[in-house]
Amino acid sequence: VYNFAAGPATLPDPVIKQIQSELPSLQGTGMSILEISHRSAMFDDIINTAEQDIRDLMHVPDNYHVLFFQGGGTGQFAAVPLNLATNHHRIALLDSGHWASRAGDEATNLGVSVDTLASTKADHYQKLPQSNQSLSSSEYDYLHVTTNNTIEGTAYHTLPTHGDVTLVGDLSSNFMAEEYNVKDFGLIFGGVQKNLGPAGVTIVIVRDDLVKPVAHIPSILNYSLFVKKNSMFNTPPVFAIYATGLVLKWLKQQGGLAEIERLNRKKSALLYDYLDDSKLFTNYIKKSDRSLTNVPFTTDNADLDNQVIQAAADTGLMNLKGHRSVGGLRASLYNAMPIEGVQALVDFLHNFEQKN
């Protein structure tokens, strides 16, 4: 079976096997990872190793903190404005799709003014909005950018211009699937459940000067508190951090992020090349804005799309249904999807096209 779900998504086979073998007893203790205390030396080692592996893989500079939260990307839609929009109470946003717009809604909900600099909603988000204005930190606390738009299938391979305004990146769906320079951001966040592990833990990488005590915000979203407590202000999601740690080791074994991105480019090109040649299926995204991790496509006939999804599932190509707001099909090709899975999908689509 190949699982093309948009998230939670497939995990690398060797990681699943390791979890299975270690589940009854971790490191000979007779206790499962599901049962050990987050205050134990063993878990200290697990969380510290995971942090170091993130630092190594992303070349995180020393003046950035790596934090582990719960609450997903959605939790960070609140945490980021609560912690960072404290000067001007005004942020800028590029409306590149559903999740960018949700982030704007949550900031607005918390009393922050949100200036949408550009939107491609009128183009059905089939290309990316760009910021053409010169932005100034005397006006905005930060600019929110969704690096990869999971539902619409676009990605910023080059970051938008942002003047001297701090850039905040929602990397939820291409975290460590594509290389970015951490230094270009003031803050990066994303749940791990697409490219890096099971649902339950959210990684935040934040520059030191942006972390300051803020009054009257929930402790569970408080960056300064989480820095002080090494992400263990309360009980962290122990299993999710452990499993993410195993995926990080696997990423290192694959050759690190440069190699992973090269593979992800190869995987997505295989599918895009087929779709561009196909007379039945179309991907409508502007070529330079296409995502490496989420590929939406359609026959432009809802009934036929559903037939494809069903027939694919019958052959073990699972979860190809597009998001309800877009319809059609979507193949998510996250880090753990092997190129053999993409080849199997292309072969299936090709055969379906021949028969129809």
Q: E strands of the chain, at which residues?
A: 2-3, 64-69, 90-95, 113-119, 143-146, 148-149, 154-155, 167-170, 187-191, 202-207, 294-297, 317-318, 329-332
Q: Which is closer to ligand PLP, CB of 2 or CB of 156?
A: 156
Min CB(74)–ligand PLP separation in Å: 3
Q: Cβ contacts of residue 308 below 8 Å, gap of 6+?
A: 299, 320, 329, 349, 352
Cα-based angle 237, 258, 148 (whole degrees, multiple of 5) = 60
Touching ligand PLP, residues 11-30 (CB under 6 A): none
CA atoms within 13 A on the CB side of 86: 14
Q: 39 among the known binding-site residues?
A: yes
CB nearer to ligand PLP: pick between 293 and 298: 293
- Applying CB under 6 A, the span of 8-16, 166-174, 212-220, 273-281 interacting with ligand PLP comes to 166-174
Residue 169 interacting with ligand PLP (CB under 6 A): no
Among 95, 106, 141, 170, which residue sits at the site for ligand PLP (rule: CB under 6 A)?
170
In which element (H, E) is residue 286 found? none
Q: How far is the CB of 268 from ligand PLP (least distance, A)?
A: 17
Q: Which is nearer to ligand PLP, 267 or 330 (CB)?
A: 330
**72 is an interface residue for ligand PLP by CB under 6 A:** yes
Residue 193 is assigned to a ligand binding site: yes
53 part of the active site: no
99 is catalytic: yes
Give the phi and the psi of residue 199 in degrees, each rounded to 5. Answer: -65, 150
Of the pair 9, 66, the CB lying nearest ligand PLP is at: 9
Single-letter code of the amino acid located at 352: F
# residues contacting ligand PLP (CB under 6 A): 11
Q: How far is the CB of 191 from ligand PLP (least distance, A)?
A: 3
How many residues can be counted in the chain? 356
CA distance 20 to 295: 31
Task: Say how far apart CA 47 and CA 120 lie, in whole Å.
Answer: 40
Clarify whether 250 is annotated catalytic. no
Q: Closer to ligand PLP by CB, 3 or 173: give it.
A: 173
Query: Please, which residue, 72 or 236, has the CB nearer to ligand PLP?
Result: 72
Q: Which residue is nearest to ligand PLP (CB)?
A: 72
Cis peptide, bond prior to residue 12, ω within 30 of zero: no
C-alpha distance from residue 217 to each of 36, 81, 110, 222 (Å): 30, 11, 11, 7
Considering the rule CB under 6 A, would residue 172 count as an interface residue with ligand PLP? yes
| 3-class DSSP assignment, residue 76 | helix
Single residue of 74, 108, 126, 278 touching ligand PLP by CB under 6 A: 74
Among 12, 73, 104, 328, binds ligand PLP (CB under 6 A): 73
CA distance 330 to 335: 16
Of the candidates 189, 149, 166, the one whose C-alpha atom is nearest the C-alpha of residue 65 is: 189
Q: Which of 4, 7, 247, 289 binds ligand PLP (CB under 6 A)?
A: 7
154 binds ligand PLP (CB under 6 A): no
Is 170 known as a binding-site position?
Answer: yes
Cβ proximity to ligand PLP: between 226 and 348 the closer is 226
In whole angstroms, how close is the CB of 26 to ligand PLP at the nearest point?
26
Q: How far is the CB of 134 from ligand PLP (least distance, A)?
A: 27
CA distance 230 to 11: 27
Q: Are 194 and 53 in contact (CB under 8 A)?
A: no
Binding site for ligand PLP (CB under 6 A): 7, 72-74, 99, 146, 150, 170, 172-173, 191
Tell me the binding residues for pyridoxal 5'-phosphate.
Answer: 73-74, 99, 150, 170, 193, 234-235
Active site residues: 99, 170, 194
User: Residue ranges for the binding site?
Assistant: 39, 73-74, 99, 150, 170, 193, 234-235
